[in-house]
Amino acid sequence: MTAPHWVTRVNLRFTNKLMVLLSDDVPPLATLHHVGRRSGRRYRTPLMAFPTERGFVFALTYGPDVQWLHNLESGPGRLVQRRRVYALSDPRTLTAEDGRALVPSWTARVLRLLRCDDFVELAAVRV
């Protein structure tokens, strides 16, 4: 289940702008820097990023059809967490079970309640 469209609009207009101010410093928040595949415009998207052996895992609370993921499938991106910069590549879709196993237990419980079953893992290299 994905978040309702009105939540998406509120987040894009207000919440994301506030979250970007905190996301470089307050884990599990992170700032994703990516370029629009059609527009060429630069974007900064606040996300919750959880480290894995391969890189980072992200819960797709809006579902798998999010623009930032499409942009990363088309080109490179960078993630800033704790003021450390990582180059991201090679997105891999995960099952709900595999994705929940990679996030902290408190997060997995909340995501289960929200019926979030979509996860993606990206390879990361510190730059």
pTM of the model as a whole: 0.84
For every residue of 62-121, which 3-state class applies, written as one string? CCCCCHHHHHHHHCCEEEEECCEEEEEEEEEEECHHHHHHHCCHHHHHHHHHCCCCCEEE
CB 31 within 8 A of CB 87: no
Average pLDDT across the chain, whole number: 87
User: Which sign does the torsion angle of CA 16, 18, 20, 26 carry?
Assistant: negative
- Average the pLDDT over 80-84 and give the result: 94
- Average the pLDDT over 39-61 and give the result: 95
* Full set of structural domains in the chain with CATH: 5-126 (2.30.110.10)
